[in-house]
Copies of this chain bind each other. A is one copy, B any other.
Amino acid sequence: MAKKLPEPDVEDIDLTTVLSALADPARRTMLTTMYRGPEPFDCSANTWCADLGINPPTVSHHFRTLREAGLTSTTVDGRARIMRVRRDDLESRFPGLLDAVLGRD
């Protein structure tokens, strides 16, 4: 059965935590891929380990950091790990921020 992993409510999304999560090139690359590409994004099939030159535990750590900061939602369904960027929540909290950060790099 699909299970949504814990994430902060929209009103609890904190700017310092969001900026800290964004202040990492690998996390920005992950987020940019999701932000620009078709969603939801099945991260079980990702090639990020190879693309980013980082190992699976580090990828998992980055996923968790993004989710706990309120940047992404994650649903686990069997072996699939479905992620999406919380665009609307972020836009309502910090208008223009994701576009400013992920629009370029």
Which residues in A have some Cβ–Cβ distance to B below 8 Å? Answer: 15-16, 19-20, 22-25, 28, 94-97, 99-101, 103-105
Interface residues of A: mostly helix, strand, loop or mixed? helix
Contact A95 B101 (CB under 8 A): no
Docked complex Cα distance between A23 and B96 (Å): 17
In the complex, which of the residues B24, B94, B100, B104 contacts A104, with contact meaning CB atoms closer than 8 Å?
A: B94
Asked if B105 and A101 make an inter-chain contact with CB atoms under 8 angstroms apart, the answer reads: no
User: Could you tell me the distance between the alpha carbons of A15 and B105 in the complex, rounded to whole angstroms?
Assistant: 7
What's the nearest-Cβ distance from chain B to residue A13, in Å? 12
**Cα of A100 to Cα of B95 in the assembled complex, Å:** 6
A97-B101, A100-B100 given as contacts; is B24 within 8 A of A22 (CB)?
Answer: no
